[in-house]
Amino acid sequence: MTAPAEPSEWQQRIAGEWHGRPSLFDADGTWRGYEDIRRSSVYEDGVTTYYMDGGLEGGGPLAGRFRLGAPFAFGVVDSDADRIYTGPDFYGTGQPYGTFVDAHYYGPGWQVDLNTWNQVLGDDTQVYSSMLYQGPAVVGCFNGVYKRGVSAAELREHLAAETRNGPVPFILPTKQAGVYSGRCELWGADQKLAGPVDVSIALDPVDLLRTRLTVTWTGALDRSYTVDWRRDGFRSFYEGPQAWGNAVAFGRANYPTVHFTDVVKVTGREFMLDAAPGMGAGTSLAVAYRVYSGATLTGILHGELSWSAA
**Cα-based distances in Å from 160 to 38, 45, 156, 157:** 15, 37, 6, 5
What pTM value is reported for the model? 0.95
Contact (Cβ atoms closer than 8 angstroms) between residue 310 and residue 179: yes
Three-state DSSP state, 78: coil
What is the dihedral angle through the alpha carbons of 55, 275, 228, 246, rounded to the nearest 10 degrees?
A: 0
- The domain spans of the chain are 9-165, 178-309
Tell me if 9-165 shares its fold with 178-309.
yes
**Fold category of 178-309 in CATH:** Lipocalin (2.40.128)
For domain 9-165, say whether CATH 2.40.128.20 is its number: yes
* pLDDT score at 41: 83
> In tens digits, what is the pLDDT along the chain, a chain of 310 residues?
444 568 899 988 898 899 999 999 999 999 999 999 998 888 887 788 999 888 899 999 999 999 888 889 999 999 999 999 999 999 999 999 999 999 999 999 999 999 999 999 998 999 999 999 999 999 999 999 999 999 999 999 999 999 999 999 999 999 999 999 999 999 999 999 999 999 999 999 999 999 999 999 999 999 999 999 999 999 999 999 999 999 999 999 999 999 999 999 999 999 999 998 987 788 999 999 999 999 999 999 999 999 999 8
Amino acid at 145: V
**Furthest-apart CA atoms within the chain: distance in Å:** 60
* pLDDT score at 158: 96
For the chain, first and last CA: distance in Å? Answer: 56
* pLDDT score at 137: 97
